[in-house]
Amino acid sequence: PLCDIDVLSEIEPENETALGSTNEQAGSPSTPQQPQKAAERHDSQPEEAHQPPEISKAPSTKGQSSLATPAVRGLLKDLKIDISNVTGTGKDGRVLKEDVQKHANADAPKSTPSPTSTPSPSNSKSTQTESMIPLTPIQSQMFKTMTRSLSIPHFLYTDELNVTALSSLRHHVNTQLSSANQPKLSYLPFIIKALTLALDSYPILNARVDTDTDTSRPQLVMRSAHNVGIAMDTPQGLIVPNIKNVNTLSIVDIASQIQRLQSLALASKLTPTDLTGGTITVSNIGSIGGTYVAPILVSSEVAILGMGKKRIVPAFDEEGKVVKREVMNLSWSADHRVVDGATVARCAEVVRGFVERPEGMVVRLR
């Protein structure tokens, strides 16, 4: 059988002596008479010497194997590790390189962190805590209102409008208002006025659904006054006061009412009259940011309009030339139980006409 040559240096002393004597009498290994002389030598030895010398393991106080390759022994020497202290995991208990490295790592001194060392991540992680916070009055009302809205199937519709002409008109109007020390106009009062003019042609979007009367089927309640709700972001939360009889107001009057409601909302002085009686709502989410919105209806209305932010985009004119264009997206939601999509689309087209050609809206002002 093949033997590791390094293992020969670990033969028991008495076996090494026997081998030494045998080699002296046998002479060179290539001598043909070696087997015969070796036999004669063994005949003169005690009975124990007749046993063939075995390659044995180095004595170990821990009973571990000492079989190893020269490379592993070199590593043991470099690390100053006694092979008898290493547990071999190879075949027949052979000590492998991995065994030496594992033994060396196990014997490495454990470094103790200094008092000023950074705590481990596991210790620095805080435990998750939860606390109960009651809803504010506005949040409680919003919770009830939006929960009721879940029973309404919403029809969503959005479109992009060219507001370049409206932007130019607004700029000229604001120049005149500024010279008269009056507040400037935003896009919101123009959109509200365009909406109320369109409601004259599509009054169903200003109605409400009545399911509380003692009848066999729900009914639509048509309303003549356009009380337009304005969604407002306040420190207390979302509130929706409304402007009464917008269909009888001018654009400047609408802007004045918006400013009044905003001032009252910031001071928390809105009255119940300001917060009730709305017939349709406009949400100007674009004043904060965002292009599209899916506004949510309240149960007392069948339509709501959301305004996106104004953007400048490249576009083609009628001659195919690239021009700068100002656009805005308007997003609608309607109660699909009583309002079909075609009605919403047609009403949205009327609003588009007034917004993209604001001179038509100015002519119809009351």
**Is 92 part of the annotated catalytic residue set?**
no
Catalytic member of 78, 200, 210, 340: 340
Q: Among all chains, which residue has been given the structure tokens 């998750």?
A: 128
**Residue 174 burial (10 A CB sphere; 0-12, 13-18, 19+):** middle
Instruction: Write the DSSP string, 195-216.
Output: HHHHHTT-GGGG-EEE--SSSS
d(CA 100, CA 81): 8
Question: What would you report as the CA-atom Rg of the chain, rounded to the nearest whole angstrom?
Answer: 48
d(CA 136, CA 337): 32
Q: Among all chains, which residue has been given the structure tokens 């002519």?
A: 363
- Helices (runs of H) and strands (runs of E) counted in the chain: 12, 11
Catalytic member of 4, 82, 159, 336: 336
**Is 336 part of the annotated catalytic residue set?**
yes
**325 phi and psi, to 5 degrees?**
-135, 140
List the structure tokens of 273: 């009259």
- What single DSSP character describes residue 217? S
d(CA 362, CA 355): 10
**Residue 140 burial (10 A CB sphere; 0-12, 13-18, 19+):** exposed
Q: Give the three-class secondary structure for 162.
A: strand
DSSP H or E stretch at residue 122: helix 121-124
| Residue 313 · residue 327 · CB < 8 Å | yes
Q: Which residues are catalytic?
A: 336, 340
